[in-house]
Chains A and B, each alone.
Chain A
Amino acid sequence: MTIRTDPENNETRALFDMANFSGQHVLEIGCGDGRVTWLYADKAAHVTAIDPSAKLIALARQELPSHLQNQVEFHDSPFEDFAAASKPSAFDIVILSWSLC
Chain B
Amino acid sequence: MVHALEEIRRLLKPTGILIDIHPVAEASPIKIHQGKKIELVGDLFVRQWCSDYQHADEALTEIKQRGLFMVEREGMFNSLTHYDSAAEMRTDWKEAIDKFARDAQSIDESVPQAETMAARAEELMRTAASGAELVVGERVHISRLKPI
Contacts and interface: CB of A to CB of B under 8 A. Distances in A.
A94 B19 contact: yes
Interface string B22-46: 1100000000000000000000000
Q: How large is the interface on B (under 10, 10 to 19, 20 to 34, 35 or more residues)?
A: 35 or more
Q: How large is the interface on A (under 10, 10 to 19, 20 to 34, 35 or more residues)?
A: 35 or more
Given A10-B77, A19-B17, A3 B82 contact: yes
B11 A91 contact: yes
B76 to A, nearest CB: 8
Interface string A72-101: 000000011001001011111111111111
8 contacts: A2-B88, A8-B80, A14-B75, A18-B73, A83-B8, A83-B10, A96-B18, A100-B56
Interface of A: 1-8, 10-11, 13-15, 17-19, 27, 29, 36, 79-80, 83, 86, 88-101
